[in-house]
A = this chain, B = another copy of it.
């Protein structure tokens, strides 16, 4: 697929998807979300070990594109939000870890993107908000991701006031993993993504999928499910190699995905 609003690149087995609609502050228009869905699916089927979601311009992502939505009817809105949910689900469904590298503002569905990614690193200057209430609407779908990442009163404060929180607060509340100086942002994002993708590709795929499957289950059902996954995963070649390597005190030699 030819991308107009984003760029996809690969380096050292890691993919980077860069939102590049700088003039529109990387607003999530229908076209932009469709490109992101395609890009995540492309990466999901690629040999890449992990994905960085980044952005060009002063703003990470300004949420839905109001210029496209104003005066639209219910059918359009349903289609738009269905597409947005597909984007969020795709990020969690692909086998690779997805890390958001956040600078500037991540707002509304842009904040939802950060909440949805597996990992996130932000620079000191980043801020996060769900300001739908300020335009007479409400960040109802971003709320689904946000309220599963941070505590109840903190989520309600963000949703009811619409006011931003800074990156340190976001790290303190668990919405992001790390906050660093702007000049260290890319290196730190790379380091964390490298650490999260340096071992067995196959084990990681099984693990990421199992994470999101068990997280919504009651504990007894989660254990039942997780036992089955973990027992099966012990039989893959990488687990066999890993156990042998550990016992022999040597580095494991994992099946390199796609090599």
Given A70-B247, A77-B234, A160-B97, are A132 and B214 neighbors across the interface (CB < 8 Å)? no
- Contact yes or no, B174 A231, CB < 8 A: no
Given contacts A119-B157, A136-B243, 13 further A-B contacts (CB under 8 A): A71-B243, A78-B228, A78-B231, A81-B230, A81-B231, A88-B223, A97-B156, A136-B200, A137-B238, A138-B210, A144-B214, A147-B211, A157-B192
Interface residues of A in 201-219 (CB under 8 A from B): 202-204, 206-208, 210-212, 214-219
Report, as a range, how many residues of chain A touch the other chain.
35 or more
Q: How far is the CB of A229 from chain B (nearest CB, A)?
A: 5
Q: Pick the contact of A138 from B77, B206, B245 — CB < 8 Å?
A: B206
- Contact yes or no, B160 A196, CB < 8 A: yes
- Contact yes or no, A69 B152, CB < 8 A: no
For residue A118, which residue of chain B has the nearest CB?
A: B156
A176 at the interface (CB under 8 A from B): yes
- Contact yes or no, B203 A133, CB < 8 A: yes
CA distance A246 to B204 in the complex (A): 43
A182 at the interface (CB under 8 A from B): no
- Contact yes or no, A226 B143, CB < 8 A: yes
Given the complex, which residues of B lie within 8 Å of A245, measured CB to CB?
Answer: 135
CA distance A163 to B196 in the complex (A): 9
**Which 6 pairs from chain A and chain B are nearest by CB?**
A136-B242, A135-B242, A136-B238, A151-B174, A138-B207, A140-B230
Complex A-B: 25 CB contacts under 8 Å: A70-B244, A72-B234, A77-B230, A78-B228, A81-B231, A118-B156, A119-B157, A135-B239, A135-B242, A136-B252, A137-B239, A138-B204, A138-B206, A140-B206, A140-B227, A144-B226, A147-B214, A149-B152, A150-B151, A159-B207, A160-B197, A161-B192, A162-B199, A173-B174, A216-B220
A85 at the interface (CB under 8 A from B): yes
Q: How far is the CB of A165 from chain B (nearest CB, A)?
A: 11
CA distance A199 to B161 in the complex (A): 8
Q: Pick the contact of A160 from B119, B161, B162 — CB < 8 Å?
A: B119
CA distance A9 to B192 in the complex (A): 44
Interface residues of A in 163-177 (CB under 8 A from B): 163, 173-177
For residue A86, which residue of chain B has the nearest CB?
A: B223
